[in-house]
Structure 1
Amino acid sequence: MPAIPKKVKNILDEQWLIFSKKIQQLEKELSLSALSLECDHAAIRVNSTLLADQFRAFLELRGTVISENIINGRPILIFKLTQPLILNGKEVPCIELPYPNDKIYPEEGWEHVEFVVPSHAKSCDQLTEDVLSVIPQLAPHINGQTGVKVKLSSPCGEHERLANPTIALKKDNICIKLHPHSIQDIILSESSEI
């Protein structure tokens, strides 16, 4: 088995523990921790193709690439792990590894996790309405009345047929995203005749 580059090992192991604690704090602040939402994946951000390639090689030893797609002009890989990561007692089955683009991240490593709030929303407005009906405590955050930054987006891969609008809630460089469908359901939609 090839040696694991030190930076890769540090991000996947030591940084994961620190990141998990910060996510747990943000979950509490956002009133999400008691909801038992599915955490479908966690995402890593890197600034160099070399480091992305090292992550890819290592993650291929820990799981399988279930999607390799071009989104916003760059490759984004999704790995389904043989052994899920554990985030505050929840299993996280997948890791998202985007290859770098022009943006330079101040710190490479774990960037966000995504939770599924089941919904049939096809737009960010519909998702916001559905999320607030389930989690009304998010209203002050979504309405810009707190220190949490909110970004609405509708990322879409080339072959995806299932709309997956997203609400990103970010504070102190820690981000939780909410979307209506798991990443694995989105990937399945790429090959279906929906």
Structure 2
Amino acid sequence: MQNLKQLGLDPEQMLADLPLFMNRIIQLANEIGISLSEYTADHIALRVNSRDIALELHKAWLAYGTEWSKTLINGRPIVVIGFDKPLQVGDWTIEALELPYPSDKVYPQQGWEHVEFVIPGNAMSIEQLQQTINTTFPTLDWQQLASKGIKVKASSPAGEHERLPNPTYAFKKDNICIKLHSHSLAAVIASEQQ
């Protein structure tokens, strides 16, 4: 099996790629018509296509933090690792890494995939979240997104013991994704432990 370094997925390589990835996130935000500099970059997520690679990454990233949770969501484990030293990138301090074990979907590119931002507003449903986003970003033109090649997906992913709904809007283009939600991952995980 190829090792993480050969695949460009070793944590040190990924951390070196982080500023470039965040620049792509900022470019996508600009295309969407939103500015995220004032909002918390709650966590960053990566995607891989093999369970073996996910296991290796899981072990490798534990050198950088502590496992906050490992929850089954849609039938596969999603691991959240809280960084011992949060990642500082541009305007943001990122506290956690989300590592989903692969499903049967194959990603064209393995590595960083999305950043989730907390848009305060306590939304408990997709409808409430859309209202919060419209209020927060009044210049966002939902109708223009498709013509720019930006796919929009609303979802309400939930772990088996979550008590705090966390509806999410995902904006995706060219293997880069921005997700907006109302509650931090730390708050959602805390709701599982109640």
Q: TM-score, normalised by structure 1?
A: 0.90
In structure 2, how many angstroms separate the alpha carbons of the residues matched to 1:33 and 1:143? 15
Shift of 1:82: 0.9
Shift of 1:34: 5.7
Secondary structure of the residue that 1:164 maps to in structure 2? coil
Shift of 1:27: 2.2
Q: Which residue identity does 2:65 align to in structure 1?
A: G
Q: From 112, 115, 119, give the equivalent of 1:113.
A: 115
In structure 1, how many angstroms separate the alpha carbons of the residues matched to 2:74 and 2:27? 30
Deviates more, 1:160-169 or 1:13-22: 13-22
In structure 2, how many angstroms separate the alpha carbons of the residues matched to 1:85 and 1:30? 25
In structure 1, how many angstroms separate the alpha carbons of the residues matched to 2:185 and 2:13? 22
Mark the runs of 5 or more structure 2 residues left unpaired by the alignment.
Answer: none
In structure 2, how many angstroms separate the alpha carbons of the residues matched to 1:127 and 1:34? 16
Q: TM-score, normalised by structure 2?
A: 0.90
Mark the runs of 5 or more structure 1 residues left unpaired by the alignment.
Answer: none
In structure 1, how many angstroms separate the alpha carbons of the residues matched to 2:121 and 2:160? 22
Shift of 1:11: 4.9
Secondary structure of the residue that 1:103 maps to in structure 2? coil
Tell me the equivalent position of 1:12: 14
Q: Which residue identity does 2:177 align to in structure 1?
A: C
Name segments (4+ residues, structure 1) moved above 6 Å.
none
| Cα contact 2:4–2:53 (8 A) shared by 1 | no
Tell me the equivalent position of 2:158: 156
| Cα contact 2:86–2:96 (8 A) shared by 1 | yes
Shift of 1:127: 0.6
In structure 2, how many angstroms separate the alpha carbons of the residues matched to 1:149 and 1:34? 18
Tell me the equivalent position of 1:51: 53
Shift of 1:89: 2.6
Instruction: Name the CA shift for 1:124/1:50 in 2 (closer, same or farther; >3 Å).
Output: same
Q: Identity percentage over the alignment?
A: 43
Tell me the equivalent position of 2:31: 29
Q: Which residue identity does 1:189 align to in structure 2?
A: S
Aligned ranges for residues 95-114 of structure 1 at < 5 Å? 95-114=97-116
Deviates more, 1:25-34 or 1:138-147: 138-147
Deviates more, 1:20-29 or 1:75-84: 20-29
Shift of 1:122: 1.5
Instruction: Establish whether residue 67 from structure 1 lines up as the match of residue 58 from structure 2.
Output: no
Instruction: Name the CA shift for 1:143/1:86 in 2 (closer, same or farther; >3 Å).
Output: same
